[in-house]
Amino acid sequence: FDLASLTKLFTAIATLQQVERGALALGTPVADILTDHPAAAAHGFTVRALLTHTTGLRPELPLYALPDDAARHRALATEEPVAEPGTRRYSDLNPLL
């Protein structure tokens, strides 16, 4: 069955468990983890920014319309913020990254 936004909760918990274990820090740049995401590198997205919805990314991206996972990955990797990074703006894209 469709879990929809419940996956955001699981993603946040799993991420914070990694922080507690010392495997990850909230200030870690996303580009250090996802080396093939130029937009994350260019805008300095951090793990904290993803969790707090302060990347400035748009609320949603119709990834379902893309033909395969590779196309979805490319779309996410190059997605530019629509608001100033640091501005709180809810986005479905943050937990996907």
Cα–Cα distance measured from residue 29 to residue 32, given in angstroms and rounded to the nearest whole number: 5
CB atoms within 10 A of CB 83: 14
CB atoms within 10 A of CB 43: 18
What digits encode the pLDDT tens for the residues 60-97? 999 989 999 999 999 999 999 999 999 999 999 999 98
What digits encode the pLDDT tens for the residues 8-58? 899 999 999 999 999 999 999 999 999 999 999 999 999 999 999 999 999
DSSP classification of residue 21: T
Encoded tokens for 23 = 């495997």
pLDDT band for 3, please (50, 70, 90 cuts).
Answer: low
Annotated domain spans of the chain: 6-96
